[in-house]
Structure 1
Amino acid sequence: MRLYPIILAAPLVACGPEPSVGIYVPPDLLLAPAGWTGPSPRDEGQLIDAAAAEKRGREQCAGQLIAIAEIVQK
């Protein structure tokens, strides 16, 4: 008679929400890319270098966001 409550409780344990699946995002995708890290540009050449560095940083950041979105959507 003592096993009776245990037997009734066992099926209730199986009823419940699905366990959540952990999503692994590589740590390198979570690091913000560096843009221009030098001093403020003083002439046209430095300004072009700074703009190119910022563009590379923004493109890398956009690529990381796309990669994270693909990981999350799977």
Structure 2
Amino acid sequence: MLPDKFKRAIREKAISRAHTRIILAGRTPESFSADELEVIVREEEDNIKNNYKEKGLLAVAALLGLGWWI
């Protein structure tokens, strides 16, 4: 669905966010198993994709003049 370039960019951003999330929790990435790290990164990827979708819908609504009713 998404080109590889965008998938890579989203993945890198998700990894960065996951690292920040782990540090803020007072832990190190090494204290997690590979499966746990994958779950955290997947959650961040989903958050990023949802944010992009939400912003896209708001942009379309603004173009149609529906901004005040949403």
TM-score by length of 1: 0.46
Which has more radius of gyration? 1
TM-score by length of 2: 0.49
